[in-house]
A and B are shown apart, each in its own frame.
Chain A
Amino acid sequence: MNNTKRAKELEEIILKHSSPAGRILSILEEIQEREGYLSKESLKYISKRLNIPLADLYSLVTFYSFFNLERGGKHTITVCMGTACYVKGAPKIIEELERRLGIKEGETTSDGIFTIKSARCFGACSMAPVVRINERIYGYVFPESLPSLLKLYGWKEK
């Protein structure tokens, strides 16, 4: 994205969130929604524009787990690690995903397709264990059912 285009988009976002309550979080959240992550350039722009030291912004975005400072893969697979999912074997799902995709939690495959993450709880505990791929939540996911699930997103078994 070139600088003028970015500036225009960011100005739009800043303008949209004008009331003080929750302003900064809302702005950062919307930037991430649009760009997929928080780029250094965007953070620098916001810092200057809203007169917040870059260090303070950095402190903010690293405090909250929702923010990414790096671009993720095309599909983000998030494994729920809530109590119900944990009791029903969520750690094994992460292990199996890591083995199948050859990356660790928090990493992205070298082709830029998949990122593995874990989450605290989606509140879909009734169908534990739960995995979210992009925006869709899948219930009753077990290590054996992962290959067919991944295939829906273009994964090929080697």
Chain B
Amino acid sequence: MKIRSLEDLEEIAHRGIQKIKGEKIRIAVGLGTCGIATGADYVYTYFENAIKDLTERVFLTKVGCFGYCSEEPLVKVTIPGKPLTILSKVNPEETEEILRAVLSGEIPDKKALCKIEEWNHITEYMVYGKGLANIPSYSDLPFFRGQLKLVLRNAGLINPEDLEEYIAIGGYKSLHKALNMKPEEVIEEVKRAGLRGRGGAGFPTGLKWEITAKNESDEKYVICNADEGDPGAYMNRNELESDPHAVIEGMIIGGYAIGAKEGIIYIRAEYPLAIKRIETAIKQAREYGLLGENIFGSNFSFDIKIVKGAGAFVCGEETAMIASIEGKTGRPRPRPPFPAEKGLWGKPTSINNVETWCNIPIILAMGGERFSKVGKENNAGTKVFSLVGEVKRIGLVEVPLGTKLKTIVHDIGGGSPSGLKVKAVQIGGPSGGCIPEEGFDTPIDYESLRDLGTIMGSGGMVVMSEKTSMVETALFFIGFTSEESCGKCTPCREGLKQMLHILHKILSRRGSEEDLKLLEELSMTIQTTSLCGLGKTAPNPVLTTLRYFREEYEGLINDGKD
């Protein structure tokens, strides 16, 4: 059916609710990439075989990832009237026992991680039920306690391949609301929210839209940057895998606000599952009339196309991405003109990161004013970080901006798993830097991170223990950027190669004090003379390690002198 009105939306929501908390027992297996890599697909198959004759009583389904990666595979069980329960580290062999318990109205305590009695989807409020006193509450777990799930509010709880479940938790209501506003009012709302680009640079989203909207043209485009290239960052993958309709809804609203009829999702080829899920979601949205001609019976028409990236880190840069979509090698060009003025095919284009798009339906639902109160001044909202490396509790962590680094690493992450001392956190991927433990008191916001010599980036957070060599870490990143440099600007292409040589030299204990000076000099040159963000930020890993861990470089140099 084609959705034309709020009533149509409610009718579908009613069907979706029956799946999420209907009369049947719901067993939902977390099937994100991480879950599957730990065998969640086998768990699903075992359940599937076991419930063959029980489909009258049990509803088995797939959900995305709930973010607690080190506890995967996760299975969520909802017995009607009772809290939703999350079971962790489920083996295929345990499925029968779980099923037996659940059928008799019980939850196997020893597999239970936590329970959720009610949940705020922002666009909808879900009450599951009370009880199960033996099982800890979601908010009692240290991993979840400091978190605030706005962007990840649906991830792991709804079936990403079922539009009806997304609508059940209030999906596409924000779009309906937006289409009943004037485009400039939508932009005003996003501006009021104070949302800044989640790709890393932090440019105000509403302002970007306003500039794109004001540039007159027969055609305009919106692009979703899903070329998540920073090693160590995977929140965009999860957002696409677990809640693809949120991205689509955000893009349709953005298209309406700036006056674009076409949206493009540029997604990296390394994410096959995310591609599959977003393809399915687009297909469903078209079937229900949420993409295509006259959305919600309005005059507004919009559609989305997927373009798969082919493995070039630099294509995350907006002008390189546009070149790549146009069928050229992905090399950046000078700005201005910015894409908001001359973007895809020379037309005004607004490029935003996956997570930025995810925030749009939330802003419309909450209202810009209320959204702007989350986080801290000038840094509204939340940010999702991928907390990995030498840390006890691994996973995707969403916190209000302004949360201190130590809260994430120690309170949420639980510090080092091996008893070794945590030495540093690498933030922002190859464009970011290493922050030493002394800096953990810093609130995470765009400006504070910049003052520390790093950037927010897309949100990769790799914890390093005292056994990690900082010089080797710097070498790793310079190796990365020197290979991924597109070669257009000589300082980036040749300079990074020279930095790599020097780092090798220092690591093989043939370095000198002069080399450290040369590293700093080269860094400065590359930063100031490169065209795009890749070159401008590539020296950060060296500069931050020189700033905070200079003694490691000097130790290697002095070793060589003996």
Instruction: Say yes or no: A138 contacts B37, CB within 8 Å.
Output: yes
Q: From residue B541, how far is it (CB to closest CB) to chain A in Å?
A: 10
Instruction: Say yes or no: A84 contacts B232, CB within 8 Å.
Output: yes
Instruction: Say yes or no: B330 contacts A63, CB within 8 Å.
Output: yes
Instruction: Say yes or no: B324 contacts A25, CB within 8 Å.
Output: yes
Assess whether B462 is interfacial by the CB under 8 Å rule: yes
Interface membership of chain A positions 110-123, coded 1 if the CB is closer than 8 angstroms to chain B and 0 otherwise = 00000000011111
B471-506 with Cβ < 8 A to chain A: 473, 476-477, 480, 484, 486
Instruction: Say yes or no: B308 contacts A82, CB within 8 Å.
Output: no
Question: Which residues from A are CB-within-8-Å of B462?
Answer: 83-84, 87, 125
B312: contacting residue among A22, A63, A85, A130, CB under 8 A: A63
Instruction: Say yes or no: A83 contacts B310, CB within 8 Å.
Output: no
Instruction: Say yes or no: A126 contacts B395, CB within 8 Å.
Output: yes
A85 to B389, CA, bound (A): 8
Assess whether A81 is interfacial by the CB under 8 Å rule: yes
Question: Which residues from B are CB-within-8-Å of A120?
Answer: 229, 231, 270, 311, 313, 480, 484
Question: Which residues from B are CB-within-8-Å of A67?
Answer: 310
Q: From residue B496, how far is it (CB to closest CB) to chain A in Å?
A: 16
Residue of B nearest to A140 (CB): B38
Question: Which residues from B are CB-within-8-Å of A86?
Answer: 231, 476
Residue of A nearest to B229 (CB): A120
Instruction: Say yes or no: A83 contacts B426, CB within 8 Å.
Output: yes
Question: Which residues from A are CB-within-8-Å of B476?
Answer: 83, 86
Instruction: Say yes or no: A126 contacts B310, CB within 8 Å.
Output: no
Interface residues on B, range: 35 or more
A23 to B306, CA, bound (A): 10
B464: contacting residue among A65, A66, A82, A87, CB under 8 A: A87
Question: Which residues from B are CB-within-8-Å of A22?
Answer: 264, 266, 305-308, 324-325, 327
Q: From residue B538, how far is it (CB to closest CB) to chain A in Å?
A: 15
Q: From residue B374, how far is it (CB to closest CB) to chain A in Å?
A: 26
Assess whether B297 is interfacial by the CB under 8 Å rule: no
Instruction: Say yes or no: B325 contacts A64, CB within 8 Å.
Output: no
A25: contacting residue among B313, B327, B484, CB under 8 A: B327
Assess whether B332 is interfacial by the CB under 8 Å rule: no
Assess whether B429 is interfacial by the CB under 8 Å rule: yes
Question: Which residues from A are CB-within-8-Å of B285?
Answer: none
Q: From residue A152, how far is it (CB to closest CB) to chain B in Å?
A: 13
Whether A127 touches B329, Cβ cut-off 8 Å, given contacts A22-B308, A87-B389, A119-B270, is: no
Question: Which residues from B are CB-within-8-Å of A60?
Answer: 327-329
Assess whether A4 is interfacial by the CB under 8 Å rule: no
Residue of A nearest to B236 (CB): A123
A83 to B472, CA, bound (A): 11
Whether A65 touches B389, Cβ cut-off 8 Å, given contacts A121-B270, A122-B33, is: no
Interface membership of chain A positions 55-86, coded 1 if the CB is closer than 8 angstroms to chain B and 0 otherwise = 00001100111110000000000000111111
B200-215 with Cβ < 8 A to chain A: none
Whether A82 touches B33, Cβ cut-off 8 Å, given contacts A22-B325, A25-B307, A126-B395, is: no
A21 to B265, CA, bound (A): 10
B203-261 with Cβ < 8 A to chain A: 228-234, 237
Question: Which residues from B are CB-within-8-Å of A83?
Answer: 231-232, 388-389, 426, 429, 460, 462, 476-477
Interface membership of chain A positions 82-110, coded 1 if the CB is closer than 8 angstroms to chain B and 0 otherwise = 11111110000000000000000000000
Assess whether B405 is interfacial by the CB under 8 Å rule: no
Interface membership of chain B positions 300-324, coded 1 if the CB is closer than 8 angstroms to chain A and 0 otherwise = 0000011111111100000000001
Assess whether B272 is interfacial by the CB under 8 Å rule: yes
Question: By CB atoms of chain B within 10 A, which of A26, A86, A123, A139 has the most?
Answer: A123
Instruction: Say yes or no: A127 contacts B307, CB within 8 Å.
Output: no
B394: contacting residue among A29, A81, A126, CB under 8 A: A126
Question: Which residues from A are CB-within-8-Å of B270?
Answer: 119-123
Report the count of interface residues on A (CB-CB < 8 A): 40
A26 to B329, CA, bound (A): 14
Q: From residue B488, how far is it (CB to closest CB) to chain A in Å?
A: 11
Question: Which residues from A are CB-within-8-Å of B508?
Answer: none
Residue of B nearest to A83 (CB): B232
A69 to B174, CA, bound (A): 47
Assess whether A19 is interfacial by the CB under 8 Å rule: yes
Question: Which residues from B are CB-within-8-Å of A7?
Answer: none
Whether A21 touches B305, Cβ cut-off 8 Å, given contacts A59-B329, A124-B37, A125-B388, is: yes
Whether A127 touches B69, Cβ cut-off 8 Å, given contacts A29-B308, A87-B389, A87-B462, is: yes
Instruction: Say yes or no: B389 contacts A84, CB within 8 Å.
Output: yes
Whether A126 touches B388, Cβ cut-off 8 Å, given contacts A63-B329, A64-B311, A84-B232, is: yes
Assess whether B141 is interfacial by the CB under 8 Å rule: no
Instruction: Say yes or no: B37 contacts A21, CB within 8 Å.
Output: no
Question: Which residues from B are CB-within-8-Å of A121?
Answer: 229-234, 270
A13-36 with Cβ < 8 A to chain B: 19-26, 28-29
Question: Which residues from A are CB-within-8-Å of B103?
Answer: none
A65 to B269, CA, bound (A): 10
Question: By CB atoms of chain A within 10 A, which of B72, B308, B310, B345 has the most?
Answer: B310
A56 to B468, CA, bound (A): 43
Residue of B nearest to A137 (CB): B37
Instruction: Say yes or no: B69 contacts A126, CB within 8 Å.
Output: yes
Residue of A nearest to B477 (CB): A83
Assess whether B70 is interfacial by the CB under 8 Å rule: yes
Instruction: Say yes or no: B234 contacts A124, CB within 8 Å.
Output: yes
Assess whether A157 is interfacial by the CB under 8 Å rule: no
A59 to B310, CA, bound (A): 13
B376-426 with Cβ < 8 A to chain A: 386, 388-390, 394-395, 426
Assess whether A144 is interfacial by the CB under 8 Å rule: no
A20 to B486, CA, bound (A): 24
Residue of A nearest to B303 (CB): A19
Assess whether B271 is interfacial by the CB under 8 Å rule: yes
Residue of B nearest to A122 (CB): B270
14 A-B pairs with C-beta separation under 8 A: A22-B325, A23-B327, A25-B310, A60-B327, A83-B389, A83-B477, A84-B462, A86-B231, A120-B311, A120-B480, A120-B484, A125-B232, A126-B70, A139-B34
A64-B310, A119-B270 known, 13 other contacts, Cβ within 8 Å: A25-B310, A82-B232, A83-B426, A86-B231, A88-B389, A120-B311, A121-B230, A124-B33, A124-B234, A125-B388, A126-B72, A126-B386, A137-B37
B residues with a Cβ closer than 8 A to A are 33-34, 36-38, 69-70, 72, 228-234, 237, 262, 264, 266, 269-272, 305-313, 324-330, 344-345, 386, 388-390, 394-395, 426, 429, 460, 462, 464, 468, 473, 476-477, 480, 484, 486
